[in-house]
Amino acid sequence: MLDAPGTWEAPTWRALDFSFDAPHAYSFSFESNDTETRSTFTARARGDLDAADVEGTRYVWPADLAPVDADPPDRVRFLAPFDPVVWDRRRFAQLWGWEYRFEAYTPVAKRVMGYYAMPLLWQDRLIGWANYANSDVEVGYVDRAPAGVTYAKALDAEIDRLGTFLTQPR
């Protein structure tokens, strides 16, 4: 049997610098909390990148990415807590205007959204969260549920889709 250290802290990294190195590349510099090591990597993109700063955070995307002019579909989706849209909590709050927390490791008495709250996407907005427990789905909202039959039907369809997924034979 191996002895576990009394305290061990996984290294975390914080971004130090962001720069465009060339028309098709950008660099990030990181520093670890457990060593004074700095690491730089370069990511390459196909084509030029556009960028915008939002509340001190720089976002980049392919320059040729065209905005979608069509209305979003009348659809509900439950997103996993580790979905790329969700996992960066700071970005999530900047984009959607509310704070999401994965609460599986939060003491029951301190939970707000629930054990495995999944952000709820309606059309193109994250408006709340859903929890699935004991074949039942509980839904919470940042503000309130959208009114109308269209939303209610879309929510029911997503609850059915989740139930089908969870009950499929493995």
Summarize pLDDT for 71-122 with one digit per residue, the tens: 889 999 999 998 888 888 888 888 899 999 999 999 999 999 999 999 999 9
Cα–Cα dist 99/89, whole Å: 7
**pLDDT over 60 at 130, yes or no:** yes
Cα–Cα dist 161/145, whole Å: 20
Supply the pLDDT for residue 135: 79
> What does pLDDT average to over the chain?
76
Show the CA angle centred on residue 74, arms to residues 73 and 80, nearest 5°.
Answer: 85
Give the pLDDT confidence of 10-41 residue by residue, as tens digits.
444 444 444 444 444 444 444 444 444 444 44
Instruction: Tell which wins on pLDDT, 103 or 56.
Output: 103
Q: Domain coordinates of the chain in residue numbers?
A: 13-62, 76-167
**pLDDT over 70 at 164, yes or no:** yes
Q: Which range is most confident: 1-15, 61-75, 143-157? A: 143-157
Indicate the pLDDT class of residue 47, thresholds 50, 70 and 90. low
25-32/57-62 β-pairing: unpaired
Q: How many CA atoms lie within 13 A of 20 on its CB side?
A: 14
Show the CA angle centred on residue 142, arms to residues 57 and 100, nearest 5°.
Answer: 45
Sort 147 into a burial class: Cβ within 10 Å, 0-12 / 13-18 / 19+: exposed
Count of other CB atoms within 10 angstroms of residue 103? 19
The SS3 call for residue 83 is coil
Q: Which residue has the tokens 């509980």?
A: 138
> What average pLDDT score do residues 130-156 get?
93
The SS3 call for residue 30 is strand
